[in-house]
Structure 1
Amino acid sequence: MEEYELHDIVMMKKQHPCGVNRWEIIRVGADIKIQCTGCDHIVMMSRYDFNKRLKKVLEHHEN
């Protein structure tokens, strides 16, 4: 399982309809909220679904 934190940029298994496959994690908890870097669409899903749909972490956020 990949390690991810708040404000990391991740790639999901399926591409967003706007054509971009880069998402920023904007909330971490029992649920994960991600925001498309192309069109700023926000999606909230359970941590289980997020882990299932995550392909890889592209960039780690610098503290």
Structure 2
Amino acid sequence: MDIQVGDRLEMRKPHPCGNHTFEVLRIGMDFRLRCVGCGREFLAPRLKIEKHIKAVHR
């Protein structure tokens, strides 16, 4: 899957704050994502993120 830094990912499941959109900050074996709604940053494994992506917005 072609994901780049700065892309916004729409996920199938929402963040606990209720938002479905996350911004990509870092790419590698793990993704560093920022929730667009509340601003929280977190690391998640690449396979888990790629499985739950609904759409990619550039």
Unpaired runs of 5+ residues, structure 1, are none
- Cα RMSD, aligned residues only: 1.1
SS of equivalent to 2:42: strand
Deviating above 6 A after TM superposition, structure 1's stretches of 4 or more consecutive aligned residues are none
**Larger Rg, first or second structure (1 or 2):** 1
SS of equivalent to 1:5: coil
What's 2:38 paired with?
Answer: 39
What's 2:29 paired with?
Answer: 30
Q: TM-score, normalised by structure 2?
A: 0.87
Q: TM-score, normalised by structure 1?
A: 0.81
Q: Match for 2:50: what amino acid?
A: N
Unpaired runs of 5+ residues, structure 2, are none
Identity of aligned residues (%): 31
Q: Match for 1:25: what amino acid?
A: V
